[in-house]
Structure 1
Amino acid sequence: MIVHAPELSEAAFSLEDESLLANEVFAIHHRAPDVSVLLPKRRPGSSLATRLVMAISQYASDKAPELRLALYRALWQDGLDLSQPGVLESTLRKSGLEKFLDANSKAETNNGNPMERWEFWKLLGPEPKELVLWQKRWETDDAFDRRIPLIENTQTNALLLGLPSEEALYQFLLSRRAHFVNDDVCVFQPRPVVLVFGWMDHLWSLVQIARESCEILHYSDLETCQQMVVENEDIDFLFIEHEFVDDDILKSLTTLARSRSLSWVLASKTASEEVELRALNHGAEQYMSVDSSTTLHKARIDKLVSDRRRFVSMERDARVDGMTQIANRREFQFRLEQEWQRVLDRQHGSISLLLIDLDHFKPYNDHYGHLAGDACLKRAASVFKSSVKRSSDLVARYGGEEFAVLVLDVSQEQALEIAERLRGALLEDAIEHQASPVHDCVTASIGVARIDYGASGSVSDLIKLADDGLYAAKGNGRNQVQAPPG
């Protein structure tokens, strides 16, 4: 019942506003992928719709939930502008509330008293004091933190911020939890990501089709756009508006797109052989004219998505171990060299390497069979991956029953603590191993080494040091963590 961006809703819709709206919808899809929300063309003012719901709640309370749902659907699925009275009137009719649109009819209130039509619409004039109070609290109360969604129990003062899981919502409604905050509870089911550079309004006929199968990001500032392409590995496509960029900017963006193996599209308001040649000369995957038919737009975007998925699948197969579904040795070696080069370029930082060996794995295979051995490797990989907290760190299968973990910019003591956490997590998972002389469950020996900027040596030296630590751990009785001797 609040307007979550009052400073934007009533003003002219700028390039920055387009970016903010597109990126907010992108965040919703990440946090709640099962919620059906489509990117609307622009952000409408919602205050009139909110006051309409409040009025209906007072004079036809049984219809208010249906009206609220219809308004959400009109905005987030049909892309209609809720600031337009015609849209509100149409939504009222669909919700069975057409009697309020008849100037000569009388609306029955909850207490049975009739009400003239003009009196009902008078309620939508000045904002109700209750709504003004809620809006002020949401904007200024530190406890609310300007979060959406937000639920407050006025009887118990319990507060729910963010997107709760079903169980958390149940506990909150039963008043078993007084305070709940969650920023990201849902598992994101990824779709291809399109980054639009230009006016969203100008390219809307393309965006409208793309949003059905892709996530949409939007940036109008060149530096921010370039930064997103470099830092966000999830971006698949770049849609560039021809009229929005000169040749220098186009060359800069397309060079960056090629370095990231991104497909990119040059789109223009009208069909032109000159623009199509410009697109082809710069290596565009597609040239699209905004005024082409919807059928042609859909066919081209479907082909882009299909080709991209095939490319990503082939690239993933080259980087991921087929059995354990973590990075393979080739990807590990690539990332190790890449991260070390970054350390050299930045002239600071460090890389820590954990080499992990499952203790007495051959006896495990002999005792339980090779199928059980494969299952053991999968479980161990899952344990290690879930125990490494930072997305910048890498867990890889190094070969056979050996795993490698890259950890960036931590001290030697922290690296040893992480290794100990992995060793303990595997032991806690309790994979039975009756053939082991060390323990009745599968255990791991781990060698830990670290290299800093300015240290002599190379990544090959780092691997050797970690291997020396692993050798020491195995020699000292296994099921332990060791740094290299000396």
Structure 2
Amino acid sequence: MSIGGEGPGPYDLGGRRARLLVVDDEPVFVKLIHQLFSAEHEVFMATSGEEALRIYARSAPDLILLDVKMPGMDGLELCRQLKRLPDARAIPVIFVTGHESLDEETACWNAGGVDFVNKPFNPLTLRNRVNVHLALKFQADRLREMAFVDGLTGIANRRQFEERLGQEYRRSRRNRTSLALLLIDVDFFKPYNDRYGHQAGDECLRQVAALLSSNMQRPGDLAARYGGEEFAFLLPETDAKGARVIAERLVEVVRQLNLEHLDSSIADVLTVSIGAAVLDPDSSDSCGALITQADAQLYRAKKQGRGRVCCSLTSEPRAEAVRP
């Protein structure tokens, strides 16, 4: 579809309308923008930089139209603050200004704007500028999604996992909160492929991935395909007890899939082994140490008979068996 009826397209937003955040202290301008775009878009309005930050947090806009001159926090400072937020870096900001000096143009580019329009503006020009940058933004979103999603299972891939792990590690250090990681391996997957065929093996991985994804309890949790028949489950703000409870539940729900596995030596249905590690906020370990410890715990779970959980803090390995 083409947003706004003019300009570039098509692109698909999955049935939703694009979200615009308009920030200007002049009510006449805000009303004009609302009239211009509200038929095609969701339009959110703010009359100050501080209000814009609050609305941004709850509206997740696709594009921001921003006045340069405002009392208090001006548009340039607001843009700089937004661009420091990881989720806002890809959101296009179009400055709308009543000045035409080269210094102000340069300041708009340096603050992180992608374009600017001078007041008074031609409504068709503004519509087309908005359409162009929405089209570019949604194309970039789609490419980013393709780069971070596993093609077979549809969940996060290893690249996305590693990026999120780094982000959550830094956040756990900053906020002094624990961070848990589960590494999950499908037991005896090669014999499963040999008996049932690779198509059945692929379907098995898809079902396990869907099950892991459906068991994410909070928006910050991440289920990812780590490689082959191995998955990762990232759990911010989760201690060792919580990680163990979640891991034990995953072992059980995979069993309850009742996927026949007659070449397993521990059960006649598909099972998984899980290694869990927790990075304590007082530890000096790196996020690499968290992976190493979770991998060591997974190895212990396999060595102790599979179909179970081994869990530890990064500095104090412990094992906890689950009914095989």
Task: Give the TM-score normalised by structure 2.
Answer: 0.80
| Of 151, 154, 159, the match for 1:325 | 154
Report whether the alignment pairs 1:417 with 2:242: no
Q: Classify 1:425/1:226 alpha carbon distance in 2 versus 1 (closer, same or farther; 3 Å).
A: same
**Conserved in 2, the CA contact under 8 Å of 1:438 and 1:479?**
yes
Amino acid at match of 1:402: E
Instruction: Check whether the contact 2:90–2:137 (CA below 8 A) recurs between aligned residues.
Output: no
Question: Contact 1:193–1:237 (CA<8 Å) still a contact in 2?
Answer: yes
- Per-residue displacement from partner, 1:219-276 (whole Å, max 9, x unpaired)? 33433533565x5694322211234367x633322223444222001124x6x53498
Q: Distance in 2 between matches of 1:429 and 1:409?
A: 29
Rate the CA distance shift 1:413–1:283 in 2: closer, same or farther, 3 A: closer
Does 2:60 match 1:237? no
Q: Does 1:478 align with 2:306?
A: yes
Q: Runs of 5+ in structure 2 lacking a partner?
A: 1-13, 319-324
Partner of 1:195: 21
Q: Which runs of 4+ in 1 moved over 6 A?
A: none
Percent pairwise identity: 33
Q: 1:242 to 1:249 in 2, by over 3 A?
A: closer
Task: Kindly provide the CA deviation profile for residues 286-339 of structure 1, in whole angstroms up to 9, marking residues without a partner as x.
Answer: 323565444333322221221111111122222222222222212211211211
Three-state SS of the structure 2 residue aligned to 1:203 is helix
Distance 1:404 1:218 in 2: 40
2:7 matched residue in structure 1: none
Separation in 2, partners of 1:337, 1:281: 27
Determine helix, strand or coil for the equivalent of 1:483: strand
Q: Which residue of 2 aligns with 1:299?
A: 128
2: CA distance between counterparts of 1:302 and 1:217?
17
Secondary structure of 1:321's partner? coil
> 1:208 maps to which residue?
35
Count residues with an aligned counterpart: 294
Residue 445 of structure 1: how far off its partner (Å):
0.8
Please say if residues 238 and 257 of structure 1, whose CA atoms lie closer than 8 Å, have aligned partners that are also in contact: no
Instruction: Give the superposition deviation at 1:422.
Output: 1.8
Give the match for residue 52 of structure 2.
225
Tell me the equivalent position of 1:381: 209
For residues 380 and 482 of structure 1, the distance between their equivalents in structure 2, rounded to whole angstroms, comes to 19
Query: Per-residue displacement from partner, 1:388-426 (whole Å, max 9, x unpaired)?
Result: 110011111111111111112222111111112222222
Please tell me whether the aligned partners of residues 68 and 76 of structure 2 are also in contact (alpha carbons under 8 angstroms): no
Three-state SS of the structure 2 residue aligned to 1:437 is coil
Bigger RCO of structures 1 and 2 (CA < 8 A, at least 6 apart): 2
Is 1:355 the counterpart of 2:180? The answer is: no
Supply the AA of the counterpart residue of 2:62. D
For 1:449 and 1:280, the matched residues in 2 are separated by 44
- For the aligned residues, what is the CA RMSD? 2.7
Distance 1:405 1:281 in 2: 39
Correspondence 1:115-134 to 2 at 5 A:
none
Give the distance between the partners of 2:251 and 2:138, measured in 1 at CA.
Answer: 36
After superposition, the Cα gap between the structure-2 partners of 1:298 and 1:221, relative to the gap in structure 1 and judged at 3 Å, is: closer
How far, CA to CA, are the matches of 2:273 and 2:47 in structure 1? 51
Give ranges in structure 1 of 5+ residues lacking alignment. Answer: 1-187
State how far apart, in whole Å, the 2-side matches of 1:212 and 1:376 are.
45
How do 1:76-475 and structure 2 match up within 5 A? 190-199=16-25, 201-226=28-53, 229=56, 234-244=60-70, 249-259=74-84, 260-268=89-97, 273-274=100-101, 277=105, 279-280=108-109, 282-289=111-118, 292-346=121-175, 348-475=176-303
Question: 2:29 is paired with a residue of what secondary structure?
Answer: coil
User: Could you tell me how far apart the structure 1 residues matched to 2:300 and 2:112 are?
Assistant: 54
